[in-house]
Amino acid sequence: MQLTPEQQARFEDEGYLFFPGLFTADETRTLAQAVPELYARREAYNVREKGRDAVRTNFAAHLYSEPFAKLARHPRMIEPVQSLLGEQLYMHQFKINGKMAFEGDVWQWHQDYGTWLNDDMMPTERAMNIAIFLDDVTEYNGPLMFIPGSHKKGVVAASHDLSTTSYPLWTVDNELIRQLVARAGGAHGGIASPKGPAGSMILFHSCLVHASGSNLSPFNRVAVYLSLCAVSNHIRRHKRPEYIAHRDFTPITCLPDDCLLKHYAVDLPWKNGLPASALQTSLEEMA
């Protein structure tokens, strides 16, 4: 899937692109049906909400689940990012975030690259995110919120929040959020929140400031997030476990566009369990 010049210009200006209903109902169903079994596993890669049993984030499903292994190689996701970065990509992070009905907690205001820089020593912001809705996303079930154009500020000041939720995050303080929202248009466009049917996709810059509120509705909001990084920009430190920040910098090879609906062989190296190496960490800088 190639971006038009108009789409590229919009991405440069706003920091994100939204593609409502990009994946068909059958394609989306193939992915959604695999989630409950993954969430039921008692593994380190399932991070649960603070004080609750609901899964907040499932990591690295592309290494042990066939449907998600195929999604990780889907051209509708890989090709646009590869075109924007002008380089082959590797998978820095793969998450299935579960903003579950009544239990899904907030994600504070943050930049993803802030975490990748501080924790993983990723050299520059030459990385992007892709999000795919596995449920309909409405104003009620905790949709993503973006501050359009905030990626143009580059890396902004952040503090390490270790207490608000079960997942530590480098977060942006309220005063800076006020300034960024005012700069983006205040009450008239300073915050954008793409919503749409299951199968919709968002592409967004790693420096785009974003957040989401808690889900108080009776409707789940599960979404898949691929963090794709230019191969030359790979991380330089393994402070976090490998199931969170990947260490295989092999360029992604795309499967055919119909890969979610047809059989294609994919490698599942963690199918029989999480290897001990995936839990090992190091504070040393790598070459």
Q: Residue 273: which region, alpha, beta or left (left: phi > 0; alpha: psi -120 to 50)?
A: left
The answer to whether 65 and 109 are in contact (CB under 8 A) is no
Dihedral over Cα of 22, 228, 136, 191: its sign:
negative
- DSSP3 helix / strand / coil % (the chain, rounded to 5): 25, 25, 50
pLDDT, residue 159, reads: 81
Full pLDDT tens readout for the chain, 287 residues: 889 999 999 999 999 999 999 999 999 999 999 999 999 999 999 999 888 888 999 999 999 999 999 999 999 999 999 999 999 999 999 999 999 999 988 888 999 998 999 999 999 999 999 999 999 999 999 999 999 999 998 888 878 877 677 677 788 899 999 999 999 999 999 999 999 999 999 999 999 999 999 999 999 999 999 999 999 999 999 999 999 999 999 999 999 999 999 999 999 999 999 999 999 999 888 86
The CATH number of the domain covering residues in 5-279: 2.60.120.620
pLDDT, residue 166, reads: 60
* Residue 80 identity: P
The pTM score is 0.93
pLDDT, residue 201, reads: 98
DSSP 240-264: S-TTTS----PPP-PPPTTTTTS--
Residue carrying structure tokens 């902004």: 156
pLDDT, residue 158, reads: 78
